[in-house]
Amino acid sequence: MLLHLALIALALGAVPAAAAEIVLDYRRPGLRDARPSIGEAERARVARALAEEAPPAIREDMGPSFAILGEGRGAFTGPGAEERIYLVQRKAPVAIEPFPNEPAPVLLVLGAKGPARFHRLATKDQFQRLAAIGDAERDGRDEILLESSFTNMGETVTALTAVRLDPAKGIAEAFQTIPDVVADRCDGPKRQRSLSAATISRDGTGAFAAQRHKLACD
């Protein structure tokens, strides 16, 4: 009997762990080069929410020519909710500008019913786009991955900021920064050219994990 149990334990121990669930794969050129694209109907819906429901300070900060830098579907205000989320900034950032002086971005949540919900980021950091949605904490509420990039002397470095929403306070809290998810030095001197890109997955502890891969420059 003991031998039988031991064999079962060995067999179970030999089963490989389940592969990590990849949320983003920056090895794909299409992902690295992607740009936010929002249709006219979606922009009109966001504009209406800003005009009719946003607090005056947010409406003034975003202005009439606001930029929508990506959107996603998920459950943000509670488990089981079916909602859409939009990253809204006063304008799209410029990757060569290291210290943009713009109002803090806003994450706007719209559901099929109920009021629009505005979550102001605590930081004035500007982002290139909303990159992905994922339930890192596995509590039924999704977190958001926001992407920022900086270009200097032929080198472009991209980072991610993981954000969770606090519906009660109306804020968006950054709880994790993942640097160097892309480090593109392919436009540098020939001997120094390099490219690395990361895969991003849920790490099982309430955060995201990055595994970086060396790639060849085109």
Taking the C-alpha atoms of residue 102 and residue 125, their distance in angstroms, rounded to an integer, is 8
Average pLDDT, the chain: 87
pLDDT at 144: 97
Cα 67 → chain centroid: 16
Using one digit for the tens of pLDDT, what is the confidence trace for 106-161? Answer: 999 999 888 999 999 977 789 999 999 999 989 999 999 999 998 888 889 999 99
pLDDT at 116: 96
Delimit the domains of the chain by residue range.
20-215
Q: Which of 51, 33, 49 is nearest to 86 (CA)?
A: 49
What proportion of the chain, given as a percentage, has pLDDT over 70?
89
213 falls in which pLDDT band (50, 70, 90)?
very high
For residue 173, pLDDT beyond 80? yes
